[in-house]
Amino acid sequence: MFVMQNPPGTTTTMKREPDPGQFPAEYFINRELSLLKFQQRVLAQAGDERVPLLERLRFLCIVSSNLDEFFEIRVAGLKEQIKLGSLAGGADGLTPQEVYRRVTDEAHAIVARQYTLLNGNILPALEQEGIVILRRTHWTAEQRAWVHSYFEREVMPVLTPIGLDPAHPFPRVLNKSLNFAVELEGLDAFGRDSGAAIVQAPRALPRVIQLPKSISGLDHCFVFLSSIMHAHVGDLFEGMNILGCYQFRVTRNSDLFVDEEETKNLRAALQGELPQRHFGDAVRLEVADNCSEAMAEFLLQQFGLSGPDMYRVHGLVNLVRLIRVPDWVGRPDLKYPAFRPGRPKTLDKRSDIFEVMRKQDVLLHHPFQSFNPVIDLLNAAADDASVLAIRMTVYRTGTDSVLMESLLRAAQKGKEVTVVVELMARFDEEANLSIAARLEEAGAHVVYGVVGYKTHAKMLLIVRREDSDATRVGVLRRYVHLGTGNYHPRTSRLYTDFGLLTANEEIGADVNEVFKQLTGLGRAGELKHLWQAPFTLHSNLIAAIQAEADAARAGRKGRIIAKMNSLLEPIIISALYEASEAGVQIDLIVRGVCALRPGVSGLSENIRVRSVVGRFLEHSRIFYFYADGQENTYLASADWMERNAFRRIEVCFPVLDGRLKRRVMKEGLRPYLQDNAQAWSMDGSGNYAAVSSRRTRSIAQESLLLDLAASTLAH
């Protein structure tokens, strides 16, 4: 088996991306098909009666949101390849045409399962709890009158029905918008008889409306906008006979194309491209299951789609809209128990965070521990007269982030604030453009990283002038935060991630060097501790894997445990196979896509792969190597994918403190290897089976909520 290695002395040389054809195709599982397997695992949460009822509805909506992006990006990419006549396959050897056929079959099965769960299980269970979504066929006369008044007052004034005739061609339909295709007969006031019309629901209108208790008799009773519009479509075409009214929704290619090599101003180019996202090529059509064959064919023709691209659904065409319902319903008994993130005892609110970091490294484990120490650090830096400079990367942070407010305040106070904003963070481009503009107005230096490479590293660097303990002479000291997740306070309560607060001089120098690369020009300097993509991360990972293999061949212990979101990179997979053959015991905790085949005789007998899907989105990247007893432990912003290794700026950083190393193992790895309730075990064919045990249920996330939050200060 061939594994690419760097020649000695080339640790900072950028490596070329692997050629998928250099490895046997049978070693790999297709990315798109593996991603759909993940959606099935998420959907299983919606079908699990042990999960609180409103959370089951939320999981159902999450699958719809995930599928939207899957079609907007992954299926759109497949269609582009097919259109261009590409026959080239990925590492798995499947052609785009083969992948598209198999993906379509899997996606149809997932969507069918979604609506079966919704209509057959979740909605009836909600109704038993007094949470009702009223279908229009069940409205009472009083409810019908209220809905009619709502339609006349809130909906009718903003609708623009479009009759289809030579003067009114088929309208441009926005990506993922709610629309109605109406079949008509009869003549209008001008003697026209087009037979069809389109009604587009403005995005400003809520898709789910709560009925007053005085009308419904219930605390939580809802109607869909689609039901309201369907019931009153006749009001839009007075004097015409309505033969049919069918809701539909089209999903479009939403991948932005900006030629970074030709672009002089990336920000301006992106601003020009964003409006086109709503009108990319159609990739999927969702229609109500009562849609006539004639209308379905007409819609497919209008969007340039074929039969397999159409999904007939029994209910709302956009289940994502239901995700707000759990938030509106005040039933804690039907949701996950509320929790308060803990806070490390070393960081009580009275402590000087800079003093704490000088004395020791601090490890934060979100969401079990609060993200507030990171906010506190930036707040302290913004207000501290001794702080001279702040540098930070921004990938996703939200439009109303308190972190941005601290950066703005620091810039306004005259500190040197430099922010590396990643403009190409998918679906966050507009928010990041807004953030960049506000920071620039406040006097901060805003840069957009390196053309052709997404800045995905999560780094905060603070430079502070303070007295030396020995000489009392002012010296500059660096304070650093590094994380596996985004600087996003809201998602820090929903995603599992680790963050490290440190004043380690060597790590501070490494982070400073990476910022120099991002903002300036010059060759990449050598780093003492950090592994950085696209320079050293990949080669160092390969070297660490091979070192474990060498140890096993020599009769010593070889052990690898790695946790990540996705595993796709073929050279790393090949190295893992070699390590397995050498006798290294390998456990991989891969939340989503995994192209490696575990447990295959003669190839990967010593590799186990599991995925954990639960209340929180597993987002941490942790890499553990036994290293002859040194137990090298790393946290990273990067998954083991080609894009992270070769087309992104990423950092992987060591946990140097032995006490914190043990914490990472105790909290980030061991509970997930022991989970027998929310874990799924993968076989060599890419299929997953739920892990179950007759012993006491062990749930990693629940045990961490109980143990970690209880053992730290309540926040």
The conformation of residue 23, written as its DSSP 8-state character, comes to S
Structural domain includes residue 285: yes
Q: 304 and 199 in one domain?
A: yes
Q: How many CB atoms lie within 10 A of CB 521?
A: 6
3-state secondary structure 577-604: HHHHHHCCEEEEEECCCECECCCCCCCC
User: What tens digit of pLDDT does each residue of 281-340 get?
Assistant: 999 999 999 999 999 999 999 999 999 999 999 999 999 999 999 999 999 999 999 999
521 pLDDT band (50/70/90 cuts)?
A: confident
**What is the three-class DSSP state of 295?**
helix
Residue 672: closest CA among 563, 576, 567: 563
Q: 417 and 489 in one domain?
A: yes
Q: 351 and 292 in one domain?
A: no
In the numeric block, which tokens belong to residue 194? 């087009």
In the numeric block, which tokens belong to residue 62? 């999450």
Out of 279-288, 363-372, 390-399, 459-468, least confident range: 390-399
**What is the three-class DSSP state of 644?**
helix
Residue 156: closest CA among 106, 101, 199: 199
User: What tens digit of pLDDT does each residue of 10-23 get?
Assistant: 344 455 555 555 67
Structural domain includes residue 250: yes
Highest mean pLDDT among 10-19, 143-152, 394-403, 434-443: 143-152
Residue 2 or residue 598, greater confidence: 598
Out of 86-100, 206-220, 422-436, least confident range: 422-436
Q: Which of 220, 230, 366, 456 is catalytic?
A: 456
User: What tens digit of pLDDT does each residue of 189-201 get?
Assistant: 556 666 889 999 9
User: Which of residues 527, 561, 596 is at a domain's end?
Assistant: 527
User: Which of residues 510, 527, 544 is at a domain's end?
Assistant: 527
Cβ distance 595 to 29 under 8 Å? yes
400 pLDDT band (50/70/90 cuts)?
A: low
Residue 72: closest CA among 275, 251, 193, 311: 251
What is the average pLDDT value for the chain, to the nearest integer? 89
**What is the three-class DSSP state of 121?**
helix
3-state secondary structure 427-481: CCHHHHHHHHHHHHHCCCEEECCECCEEECCCEEEEEEEEECCCCCCEEEEEEEE
User: What tens digit of pLDDT does each residue of 247-260 get?
Assistant: 999 999 987 554 44
Q: 559 and 621 in one domain?
A: yes
Tell me the C-alpha distance between 377 and 334, whole Å.
36
As to burial, measured by CB atoms within 10 angstroms (0-12 exposed, 13-18 middle, 19+ buried), residue 426 is middle
Per-residue confidence (pLDDT) for residue 186, from 0 to 100: 75
Torsion of CA 296, 302, 303, 309, to 10 degrees: 30
Residue 567: closest CA among 548, 588, 586, 585: 588
> CB-hemisphere CA count at 13 Å for 550?
8
Q: 686 and 610 in one domain?
A: yes
User: Which of residues 527, 549, 581 is at a domain's end?
Assistant: 527
pLDDT at 654 over 50: yes
**What is the three-class DSSP state of 48?**
coil
Beta-sheet pairing, 617-618 with 495-502: parallel
pLDDT at 280 over 80: yes
Cβ distance 178 to 226 under 8 Å? yes
CB proximity list for 153: less than 8 A, separation 6 or greater: none
User: How many separate domains does the chain show?
Assistant: 3
Q: 394 and 254 in one domain?
A: no
Structural domain includes residue 636: yes
CB proximity list for 509: less than 8 A, separation 6 or greater: 478, 528
Per-residue confidence (pLDDT) for residue 432, from 0 to 100: 67
Q: What is the pTM of this model?
A: 0.91
Across 667-681, average pLDDT: 97
Q: 315 and 352 in one domain?
A: no
Helix (H) or strand (E) holding 352: none
pLDDT at 6 over 50: no
Q: 199 and 290 in one domain?
A: yes
Structural domain includes residue 21: no
Per-residue confidence (pLDDT) for residue 165, from 0 to 100: 74
Per-residue confidence (pLDDT) for residue 238, from 0 to 100: 83
CB proximity list for 103: less than 8 A, separation 6 or greater: 32, 33, 36, 74, 75, 78
Out of 52-66, 269-283, 447-461, 608-622, least confident range: 269-283
366 — phi, psi (to 5°)?
Answer: -90, 150
pLDDT at 120 over 60: yes
Q: 347 and 319 in one domain?
A: no
Which residues pair with residue 500 across a beta bridge? Answer: 363, 482
The conformation of residue 91, written as its DSSP 8-state character, comes to T
Q: How far is CA 449 from each of CA 431, 471, 485, 515, rounded to the nearest angstrom?
A: 17, 38, 18, 9
In the numeric block, which tokens belong to residue 559? 């052990």
As to burial, measured by CB atoms within 10 angstroms (0-12 exposed, 13-18 middle, 19+ buried), residue 340 is exposed
Q: 206 and 224 in one domain?
A: yes
Q: 284 and 360 in one domain?
A: no
599 — phi, psi (to 5°)?
Answer: 65, 20
Residue 7 or residue 246, greater confidence: 246
43 pLDDT band (50/70/90 cuts)?
A: very high
Give the structural domain span for 614.
532-714
Structural domain includes residue 19: no
The full DSSP string for 62-86 is HHHHHHHHIIIIIIHHHHHHHHTT-
Q: What CATH number corresponds to the domain at position 412?
A: 3.30.870.10
714 pLDDT band (50/70/90 cuts)?
A: very low
Q: What CATH number corresponds to the domain at position 326?
A: 3.30.1840.10
Per-residue confidence (pLDDT) for residue 259, from 0 to 100: 46
Asked if 445 is an active-site residue, the reply is: no
Which residues pair with residue 462 across a beta bridge? Answer: 390, 479
Out of 34-43, 84-93, 143-152, least confident range: 84-93
Residue 563: closest CA among 483, 620, 643: 620
Q: 229 and 140 in one domain?
A: yes
**What is the three-class DSSP state of 112?**
helix
Tell me the C-alpha distance between 217 and 161, whole Å.
34
